[in-house]
Chains A and B, each alone.
Chain A
Amino acid sequence: AQSVTQPDIHITVSEGASLELRCNYSYGATPYLFWYVQSPGQGLQLLLKYFSGDTLVQGIKGFEAEFKRSQSSFNLRKPSVHWSDAAEYFCAAYLNNNDMRFGAGTRLTVKP
């Protein structure tokens, strides 16, 4: 079955530290991949996407993600986290039929 897995439910990092949020997918072929961020009481905002081509994708707010076909992963990274990055992060994927599958989300807490 097609699925997206985010292994970490909650991550805490110190402000200024680096961040990596993990995402794995299970599809018969390489899906289209996305990272969204959701601040409390808000909708989802797209951070970045991967459709094809360069496996290192740059997004907004200083985020980047790397697609690794061999590991079926699409991990999100940021070199230096800011307090305003505290939010919930969702990895998502779909293949052909617009049926977007979301991971369960990773809640990021930033310590001062």
Chain B
Amino acid sequence: DAGVIQSPRHEVTEMGQEVTLRCKPISGHDYLFWYRQTMMRGLELLIYFNNNVPIDDSGMPEDRFSAKMPNASFSTLKIQPSEPRDSAVYFCASSSGSPGIQYFGAGTRLSVL
């Protein structure tokens, strides 16, 4: 398997623009997680899905953030409008079953100018 695939790897945008981050989980995994990593706050869980259904979105910082999982092989994290404080590395991870080992993608480094 190719592992968890995230795109793009780097994104530079201007404040106020919409940003969409993409994730393809490992085939057969039924859990998908979105994390944000910053120097100040470390790794934070934003939201996770089970069988394409959002289970816990309590980590989503504001209404500007939204996540979808239209099918088992694809998820998006959208920020609209983006702000400079959203600059961070965003990771997607997937796992099988519970408890499960989470496998991480390489991340998307987002810079909002």
Contact = CB atoms under 8 A, between A and B. Distances in A.
Contacts of B104: 36, 43-45
A97 B45 contact: no
B56 A42 contact: no
A41 B105 CA distance: 11
B42 interface: yes
B17 interface: no
Interface in A26-76: 32, 34, 36, 41-46, 49, 51
Contacts of B103: 46
Contact of A51 (B31, B99, B102, B105): B99
Interface residues of A, number: 22
B45 A32 contact: no
Contacts, number: 48
A100 interface: yes
Interface string B94-110: 01001111111111000
A49 B100 CA distance: 10
A36 B38 CA distance: 17
Given A49-B101, A98-B55, A99-B56, A44 B42 contact: no
Q: 4 tightest CB-CB pairs across the interface, nearest first? A: A43-B104, A102-B43, A44-B104, A43-B106
Interface of B: 4, 31, 33, 42-43, 45, 48, 50, 55-56, 91, 93, 95, 98-107
Given A34-B101, A34-B102, A42-B106, 17 more contacts: A36-B104, A41-B106, A43-B105, A43-B106, A44-B91, A45-B104, A90-B43, A98-B33, A98-B48, A98-B95, A98-B100, A99-B45, A99-B48, A100-B33, A102-B43, A105-B42, A105-B43
